[in-house]
Amino acid sequence: MHVLILGGTTEARRLAELLEPEPVRVTSSLAGRVAGPRLPVGEVRVGGFGGTDGLVRWLRAQRVDALIDATHPFAETISFHAAEAAATAHVPLLALRRPGWVPAEGDTWHTVGSLDEAAAALPGLGSRIFLTTGRMGLAAFAGLRDLWFLVRSVDPPQGACPPRMEALLERGPFTLEGERALLARHRIDVLVTKDSGGAATAPKLTAAREAGVPVVVVRRPPVPDGVPVATTADEAAARVRAMAAPAP
């Protein structure tokens, strides 16, 4: 049995680890957008497939028996390509998605549907913004000339950026103590984040709650219709084992 795992997420790497001892071939595919990514165990390919048609050709040429979409919750394009390719190639598809964050008592969240909506919500909320939505999509904030931004990302920002901006190149996981110190040091009064979920970057939400800092949260896109979802790598591994088990 050949399993293709899409994604460089923590859950994708954990799934590859769980399947390594199993009698299956596992290939992990990374988009290649991050320099020096953390590599999973086993076979790894880096780079795109060339859209839906390219992924269909790869699935057929490599005789893939199961496709796991363990990409970032906001990697909407590849998720829809995966759904279309799996249907065309008649390959079972499972989405692995960590649960989203849930506001706690004391949080002040402003939930929006896109980065453009997040930018529109900022005037009036504050003037010193901690932007943690990644290095791409910063053009949505480029017109906000009266606000100052601290932009945290793994790699340097690309494309149009806010004119008043400081880039902070860091990779999680982050600690609560570190996030508290960062908010205080930069006098942050608004946090902007995507609802990525997971524990690695969640401490910023706790630090914002403690400091009374409002949070603009971008909703994650939905999983394509009809695609089953596992919320943990253990659950996904159990489903793969069930598929690989010989018929009674």
Q: Is residue 145 assigned to a domain?
A: yes
Distance of CA 91 to the CA centre of its chain: 24
Phi-psi region of 151 (alpha: psi -120 to 50; beta: other; left: phi over 0): beta
Same domain flag for 142 and 230: no
pLDDT value at residue 172 = 86
- Domain extent, residue 50, equals 2-99+221-244
Same domain flag for 171 and 214: yes
Range 212-218 average pLDDT:
98
Range 86-92 average pLDDT:
97
**Spatial distance between the Cα atoms of 25 and 28, rounded to a whole number of angstroms:** 10
Q: Is residue 72 assigned to a domain?
A: yes
Structurally, how many domains does the chain consist of?
2
Same domain flag for 213 and 227: no
Taking only the tens place, the pLDDT of each residue in 161-194 is 999 999 999 988 999 999 999 999 999 999 999 9
Amino acid at 228: P
Q: Is residue 142 assigned to a domain?
A: yes
Q: Is residue 121 assigned to a domain?
A: yes
Of 89, 128, 151, nearest to 214 by C-alpha is 128
Q: Is residue 15 assigned to a domain?
A: yes
Task: Residue 52: give its domain's CATH number.
Answer: 3.40.50.720
Q: 2 forms bridges with which residues in the sheet?
A: 25
Stated pTM of the model: 0.88
Q: E strands, 81-170, where?
A: 93-96, 109-112, 128-132, 148-153, 165-169
Same domain flag for 95 and 84: yes
Same domain flag for 158 and 145: yes
Same domain flag for 184 and 95: no
Q: Is residue 104 assigned to a domain?
A: no
Q: Following CA atoms 140, 141, 144, 146 in sequence, which dihedral angle do they give, to the nearest 10 degrees?
A: 180
At 33, is the secondary structure helix, strand, or coil? coil
Same domain flag for 95 and 124: no
Same domain flag for 136 and 147: yes
pLDDT value at residue 246 = 67
Residue 141 has pLDDT above 80, yes or no: yes
Same domain flag for 118 and 54: no
Calculate the average pLDDT of the chain: 94
Same domain flag for 189 and 122: yes
Confidence band for 60, pLDDT divided at 50, 70 and 90 = very high
Of 2, 4, 215, nearest to 109 by C-alpha is 215
Distance of CA 166 to the CA centre of its chain: 23
Q: Rg for the chain (alpha carbons), in Å?
A: 20
Same domain flag for 56 and 150: no
Q: 243 forms bridges with which residues in the sheet?
A: none
Same domain flag for 129 and 74: no
